[in-house]
């Protein structure tokens, strides 16, 4: 069983569309994250969720909104997609924050045309 | 803005060589230092989490040391193999109870 899974793996869409990326973890972790891998392959934190509560929002555009229906899921909704949103988005989870190992999903490759 | 610096940016060694790279981080208010291994087209995989000054961790041929007072960690690979080719990332939480800030990584290429 995959520990952290993301769907879809690839997403090609038009500018202006709204899309969602789903993330699920079966590790029983309390904290989930979304990272964006930019064009220089740099991993940058977007959001953290701990026990269904948003605790960090790293000044990403408000077109991006994380939604957590339960502790095992953290979905990423993106409204009015822009060309610059094209990137690889990674979901991760950990038992807690800071000192805990993070387990990453396989990534979702988003291309906005 | 607090940053994690990694050096070198990339490294190419021959199979059997031993190698090491550096992660520098702010030494004030230290909480933890993470090392991850990231293969091309895969997702980052945790290697070590280090919390105490002087910590040394080992996993097979890979080991790491930590100096929190001077703000650096070294990752060592003994007898590099082609399968060690990957980008090695270090990361730290800016404050206790926050998400990780990642460095840009050291990309290692091992030739057979």
**Residue in B closest to A93 by C-alpha:** B99
Higher pLDDT, A89 or B97: A89
Burial class (CB in 10 A: 0-12, 13-18, 19+), B85: middle
Q: State the pLDDT at residue B100.
A: 85
pLDDT of residue B93 exceeding 70, the answer is: yes
Residues of A in contact with B31 (CB under 8 A): 98-99
Residues of B in contact with A103 (CB under 8 A): 46
Model confidence band, residue B23 (pLDDT cutoffs 50, 70, 90) = very high
Q: Which residues contact A28 (CB under 8 A, 6 or more apart)?
A: none
Does the CB of A57 have a partner CB in chain B at under 8 Å? no
Tell me if A62 sits within 8 A of A9, measured CB to CB: no
Q: What are the tens digits of pLDDT across the range B7-22?
A: 999 999 999 999 999 9
Model confidence band, residue A1 (pLDDT cutoffs 50, 70, 90) = low
Tell me if B88 sits within 8 A of B75, measured CB to CB: yes
Q: What are the tens digits of pLDDT across the range B33-68?
A: 999 999 988 999 999 999 999 999 999 999 999 999
Q: State the pLDDT at residue B28.
A: 82
From the CA of A91, how many Å to the nearest CA of chain B?
10
* DSSP-assigned letters across all residues of B13-77: EETT--EEEEEE---TT---EEEEEE-TTS--EEEEEE-STT-EEEETTEEEEEETTTTEEEEEE
């Amino acid at each position: 069983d995959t520990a952290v899974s993301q769907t879809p793996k690839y997403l090609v869409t038009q500018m202006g569309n709204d899309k969602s990326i789903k993330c699920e973890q079966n590790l029983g972790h309390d904290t989930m994250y979304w990272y964006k891998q930019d064009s220089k392959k740099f991993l940058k934190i977007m959001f953290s969720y701990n026990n269904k509560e948003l605790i960090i929002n790293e000044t990403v555009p408000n077109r991006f909104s994380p939604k957590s229906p339960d502790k095992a899921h953290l979905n990423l909704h993106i409204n009015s997609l822009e060309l610059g949103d094209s990137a690889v988005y990674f979901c991760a989870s950990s038992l807690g924050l800071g000192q805990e190992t993070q387990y990453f999903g396989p990534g979702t490759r988003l291309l906005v045309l | 803005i607090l940053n994690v610096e990694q050096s070198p940016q990339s490294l190419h060694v021959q199979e059997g060589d031993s190698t090491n790279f550096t992660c520098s981080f702010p030494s004030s208010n230290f909480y933890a230092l993470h090392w991850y291994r990231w293969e091309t087209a895969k997702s980052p995989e945790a290697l070590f989490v280090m919390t105490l000054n002087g910590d040394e961790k080992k996993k097979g041929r890979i080991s790491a040391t930590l100096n929190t007072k001077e703000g650096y960690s070294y990752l060592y690979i003994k007898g590099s193999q082609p399968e060690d080719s990957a980008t090695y990332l270090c990361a730290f939480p800016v404050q206790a109870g926050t998400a990780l800030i990642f460095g840009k990584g050291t990309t290692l290429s091992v030739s057979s």
